[in-house]
Structure 1
Amino acid sequence: MVAPELVRNAQTGDRDALITLLREIETHVYRTAFYILGNEQDAMDASQEALIRIYTKINSYEEKALFKTWVQRIVTNICIDKFRKTKPTISIDEHELSFTSSQNVENEIMDGYLAQDIREAIDKLPDHHRSVVVLRYLQDFSYHEIAESLDLPLNTVKSYLFRARQQLQTLLQEYQKGGVRG
């Protein structure tokens, strides 16, 4: 993700290195925030807050952990705090359908419903389960990286993921059967 020398240069006060570093991580920070919080505006606010915190705390980063896990811990904690303060709303992106075949249009619509169902199911997970799901499946973190990012024991991460997958499976089966949304 980020070169260690870029982080070291940013820590020594190299302004250009710090700006480059923040630009390299901003997409990852936003993606995590969006999937935890569930809407664009809250994700943008949390991302900005996380980037400011990273900017001001860069000197507190120690190379004991990977830089990306340190960053994810910051953004995840900000999102969890924000999520606890306000109940999230689900933002549904409008897709332009530009297909010639009605089968393609139908597939696009079904894919959109599936993505919406998955987002809604993830939103219904408890905070700690949502965080591990986002880091594992959307950010592609290993179990060890998740444990480091969230400051949790490895077995707790495994347990949270196991329970989260069970909950998601149940929720998605309800959607498939035409269960009540919301």
Structure 2
Amino acid sequence: MLDAADATLAVRARDGDVHAYEVIARRHGPLMRVYAARLLGSELESDDVVQDAFLTAWRRLADLDDPSRVRNWLMRIVSNKAVDRLRVRRDHDDVDRLEVSAPRHETPERVVEARLQLDAMWAALDKLPLDQRRCWLLRETADYSYADIAEALDLPVSTVRGKIARARTFLITEMEAWR
């Protein structure tokens, strides 16, 4: 069952096969977590959002029109759940952001420089409008095609291309100091 295509698993899950749905969840859950964490800026919240997305997807499997597109359908659900969470979220400290010690093979200076660069990148991403950030993250972190992003976010492909182009231009400008 682990080697089965998404479409086969989705059809079996729709028929009530819990094991097939578990395989889908294990296959696509890590991507959904990374995407939600980057949108929300919190590992803790991303786990809640992904879990909520999987519950919603399980209840709405009958609404899945094309079983071969189950990944995009799940990403759309997790995206919507993350945006909902952003709308109602209260600011709080995230204990998961505590610094961990640097690996022994890296000098403290290199670790600090890499962390500062990464922080600058996430700060720049946070400045992007939400739709541009969502498009950019799907393209750059999940390697989605423009068509897949358009489908996942329910946008025209031309709009996705424009949003990604504007996001890239903005990020290049923001990260100029790190060249």
TM range (shorter): 0.7 to 0.9
CA distance in 2, matches of 1:156, 1:47: 26
Q: Pick the aligned partner of 2:170 from 161, 167, 171.
A: 167
Partner of 1:140: 143
TM-superposed CA distance for 1:70, in Å, is 0.9
Give TM-score, length-normalised by structure 2.
0.86
CA contact (8 A) 1:26 1:47 kept: yes
CA gap 1:106/1:66 in 2 versus in 1, 3 angstroms: same
Partner of 2:100: 95
Per the alignment, in what secondary structure is the counterpart of residue 29 of structure 1? Answer: helix
Give TM-score, length-normalised by structure 1.
0.84
CA distance in 1, matches of 2:91, 2:124: 13
Q: Pick the aligned partner of 2:24 from 21, 24, 27.
A: 21
Fraction of identical pairs, as percent:
27
**Which string of whole-angstrom CA distances, capped at 9 and with x for unpartnered residues, describes residues 74-102 of structure 1?**
1111112221223667853523213256x
TM-superposed CA distance for 1:35, in Å, is 0.8
AA partner of residue 95 (structure 1)? V
TM-superposed CA distance for 1:25, in Å, is 1.9
Which runs of no fewer than 5 residues in structure 1 stay unpaired? Answer: 178-182
TM-superposed CA distance for 1:34, in Å, is 0.4
Aligned CA RMSD, in angstroms, stands at: 2.4
TM-superposed CA distance for 1:165, in Å, is 1.1
Which runs of no fewer than 5 residues in structure 2 stay unpaired? Answer: none
TM-superposed CA distance for 1:24, in Å, is 2.1
Per the alignment, in what secondary structure is the counterpart of residue 6 of structure 1? Answer: helix
CA contact (8 A) 2:33 2:50 kept: yes
CA contact (8 A) 1:38 1:90 kept: no
TM-superposed CA distance for 1:116, in Å, is 1.4
Q: Does 1:123 align with 2:150?
A: no
Partner of 2:73: 70
